[in-house]
Amino acid sequence: MEALKSLLSPLTNSAGPIQDTLKLVVIGGTVETARRASVSAWTGFVDSFFLTAHFSQEDYPYDWLMHWLSKQPAWGRSREFDITTRSVSRHGLTQSTSGDLDEEEEEETEEISTGRRKRKVAIIPSVDTTHTIYYRGHWLRITRTKRFQDYGSCGELKISVVARNNDILKRLVLEAKRDYEKDAEHRVHIFMADTTYGCWRWNGARHKRPMSSIVLEPGVKDMILADCKDFLCSEDWYAERGIPFRRGYLLHGVPGSGKTSLIHSLAGELGLDIYVVSLSSKGMSDNTLANLMGNVPSRCILLLEDLDAAFTRGISRDEKSTGAPTGSSSTSTSSSTSSAKNKEENNDGSTLSLSGLLNSLDGVAAAEGRLLFATTNHIERLDPALSRPGRMDVWVNFKNATKWQAEGIFRCFFPSKPTGPQQAASSTTPPPSATVDPKDPTSQENLAVPKRKRNAVLTPSLSDEEIASLAKRFGDAIPDDEFSVASLQGYLLKNKTRPKECVDEVQAWIVQERETRARLKKEKEEREAKEKKEAEETAKKEDKAKEEAPVKVKRSRVKTTTVVATPTEPVIPESSESTPSSSESESTGADADGEESVTSEEESPEKEGEDEAAPAEKVAATGGNETWVAVKGHPPDPNV
Ligand SMILES: Nc1ncnc2c1ncn2[C@@H]1O[C@H](COP(=O)(O)OP(=O)(O)OP(=O)(O)O)[C@@H](O)[C@H]1O
């Protein structure tokens, strides 16, 4: 006990300073805890008045709000900002009006004459800065941030407002949406499948293409448009009958006949975005496709372009296999060559199987409400399962241009001169291109030519009768089902300011086109014949090499054995290096290094057999087999 007291005595004697220190720690800790508690209570108290909404760049409301914000003067007056020529949102509609460097007006004339592309420069507030905007009696605190993800950064928007409930935020989002849709109504947005990350990437917004600019046989456009409209407003009908709310359209036929153009037109007409998937793209797999298909919005056009291309590069029904193309078999030369080719083609990480494709089209996870459009130039290559009703409900065949279509496309290019007051106005306004009223949305010229370039095309004005007669002559000159509409369009484009000459010279163009086609066809046939011959020769060589392969292996084994382990085995006589030593080894029983050899009795007949076989093998090997040369150390003697 005494000992313990003596041990503690130094501490008890100095209790004053320690107690003070302890008191300080306790008081400091208490004050800090109280401070933190009060701060968090205050923040909680303040936050209880604030409503905060988060918007991610991955979803539409972010675009609506960025578009809306870009129109707010306070947003443009930001004191910390980035300058960019890129679109802030995926829809490219958020170029800040307040921040635009307005040189457009001055540059417009110059642009038309030089063809130089205008670059808009926009000012946007920097990330992680907070801005306050007054909106309908409330102060909104808006912060733009960036979140980093596996596949790059993703923008976020945080909006806080002091309010009793979230009505004000709902109103804001609705207003932003309406505003955005109003500005976006003249565009069709295109999204492309990103197979690397299995998501959709905005690819641009295109001006809507009017249906009147698509020239198809009478009734076809109306039929498809009516069918699409009918589908889009029949959700309940489908639900009542338990039918999956999806519709598929298969547009097949010759290239350049308007399949893709029609889809773009329909998207504009129906106000839908287009989501494009290329099944043959690198890295496409069943999972990626299912993921993509499950993530399309309920109302959109899903476009599978060139469906047959996916087949020829090796989709198969078997999930494990990505080979076995069906379409190119007719041109295949030998099984070995084609399988090698397939391997090469499929070596791009794509593991998409037909069953995977079918599942993603109408499996459990497939999106509903979308219009599926698939295009192909070779319908005969499609698996029947893919094109059956339920997956592809409407089939439309696109052929080469008829006379009627030729006439129609001519009229699209050369609209007739407006009559009445419009004509009077135009006659006072040079140049002649002013015959088209730029405000008239039904004007053919307006439909065919983008707005900003309208005045750049100097088309002579012709009366209705003149255009009708020229169009008729043009249509009569074009043979039915020989030229695609795209090729006619190419010819008309070359003559876009010379309607009369265009018709006068069309016969010469037809002759020239036929000659070009004949020449190209001949060249193609020659090239194919050459390729076929080369492939046959390669196949023959490979077959020959295969036949020889087992013999070579045997010989190389013999040679190796001779050098390393069994020096007394007979050395192949045709080698100039080994011939003398072989006889020497046989006679002396020693190898080239002078090692003692052990020749077993049992080996003798085999050796004899090999010796006998040697001349025959030698003859077979004169084809210049590489293995043979490498083992022997000198090229084969072609005279043997
Ligand atoms: N029927 C048509 N009416 C109006 N323009 C057409 C028509 N067909 C083709 N064109 C024009 O030809 C070009 C090519 O058309 P488009 O890409 O739509 O053809 P496609 O059938 O989809 O071809 P592919 O099968 O090669 O993809 C476009 O510029 C389009 O304007």
Distance between CA 268 and CA 186 in Å, rounded?
8
Task: Please answer whether residues 286 and 352 qualify as being in contact, where contact means their C-beta atoms are separated by less than 8 angstroms.
Answer: yes
Distance between CA 159 and CA 529 in Å, rounded?
68
Distance between CA 59 and CA 551 in Å, rounded?
66
CA neighbor of 288 nearest in space, from 352, 224, 384, 234: 352
* Pocket around ligand 1 at a 6 A CB cut-off: 214-216, 255-261, 375, 377, 398, 409, 485-486, 489
Query: Which residue's CA is the nearest one to ligand 1's atom 18?
Result: 258
Pocket probe for ligand 1: among 478, 489, 496, the residue whose CB has the most ligand atoms within 8 Å is 489
Task: Please answer whether residues 433 and 454 qualify as being in contact, where contact means their C-beta atoms are separated by less than 8 angstroms.
Answer: yes
Looking only at the bridges linking them, the beta strands covering 247-253 and 199-207 are: unpaired
Q: What is the ipTM of this complex?
A: 0.98
Residue 355 has what pLDDT?
86
Residue 42 has what pLDDT?
86
Task: Please answer whether residues 562 and 611 qualify as being in contact, where contact means their C-beta atoms are separated by less than 8 angstroms.
Answer: no
Distance between CA 286 and CA 357 in Å, rounded?
7
Distance between CA 92 and CA 76 in Å, rounded?
17
Amino acid at site 293:
M
CA–centroid distance, 251 to ligand 1, in Å, is: 12
- For residue 35, report the phi and psi dihedrals to the nearest 5 degrees: -60, -45
CA–centroid distance, 412 to ligand 1, in Å, is: 14
Within 10 angstroms of residue 236's Cβ, the number of other Cβ atoms is 9
Alpha helix (H) residue ranges in 50-166: 60-69, 73-76, 104-114
The 8-class DSSP code of residue 20 comes to: H
Pocket probe for ligand 1: among 211, 261, 489, the residue whose CB has the most ligand atoms within 8 Å is 261
Task: Please answer whether residues 265 and 210 qualify as being in contact, where contact means their C-beta atoms are separated by less than 8 angstroms.
Answer: yes
CA–centroid distance, 214 to ligand 1, in Å, is: 9
Pocket probe for ligand 1: among 260, 303, 409, 410, the residue whose CB has the most ligand atoms within 8 Å is 260
Q: Which burial class, exposed, middle or buried, applies to 256 when counting CB atoms under 10 A from its CB (0-12, 13-18, 19+)?
A: buried
Report the SS3 class of residue 611: helix
Residue 357 has what pLDDT?
87
CA–centroid distance, 489 to ligand 1, in Å, is: 9
Atom of ligand 1 at shortest distance to CA of 262?
18
Atom of ligand 1 at shortest distance to CA of 264?
18
Task: Please answer whether residues 233 and 271 qualify as being in contact, where contact means their C-beta atoms are separated by less than 8 angstroms.
Answer: no
Pocket probe for ligand 1: among 188, 254, 257, 412, the residue whose CB has the most ligand atoms within 8 Å is 257
Distance between CA 633 and CA 559 in Å, rounded?
11
CA–centroid distance, 212 to ligand 1, in Å, is: 14
Task: Please answer whether residues 88 and 124 qualify as being in contact, where contact means their C-beta atoms are separated by less than 8 angstroms.
Answer: yes
Query: Which residue's CA is the nearest one to ligand 1's atom 17?
Result: 260
Per the listing, tokens 């129906």 go with 270
CA–centroid distance, 330 to ligand 1, in Å, is: 28
Token pair for 351: 């593991």
Alpha helix (H) residue ranges in 316-376: 335-345, 354-362
Atom of ligand 1 at shortest distance to CA of 376?
25
Distance between CA 420 and CA 265 in Å, rounded?
31
Residue 155 has what pLDDT?
76
Sequence spans of domains, the chain: 52-183, 191-328+343-398, 403-504, 520-632
Query: Which residue's CA is the nearest one to ligand 1's atom 6?
Result: 258
Query: Which residue's CA is the nearest one to ligand 1's atom 28?
Result: 486
Residue 474 has what pLDDT?
93
Distance between CA 589 and CA 262 in Å, rounded?
86
Distance between CA 274 and CA 203 in Å, rounded?
10
Distance between CA 416 and CA 465 in Å, rounded?
8
For the chain, 640 residues long, the average pLDDT of each consecutive 10-residue run is 63 70 92 92 80 83 84 76 60 44 47 51 72 88 77 76 86 90 82 82 84 92 94 92 91 94 94 89 84 85 85 46 37 42 51 85 78 91 85 93 94 73 42 35 38 51 86 93 94 90 93 94 93 92 84 46 35 38 38 38 39 38 33 36
Residue 1 has what pLDDT?
59
Given the candidates 3.40.50.1970, 3.40.50.300, 3.40.50.1000, 3.40.190.10, the CATH classification of the domain at 191-328+343-398 is 3.40.50.300
Distance between CA 572 and CA 629 in Å, rounded?
13
Note if the bond before 460 is cis, omega within 30 degrees.
Answer: no
CA–centroid distance, 193 to ligand 1, in Å, is: 22
Strand partners, 122: 84
Per the listing, tokens 């806080």 go with 160
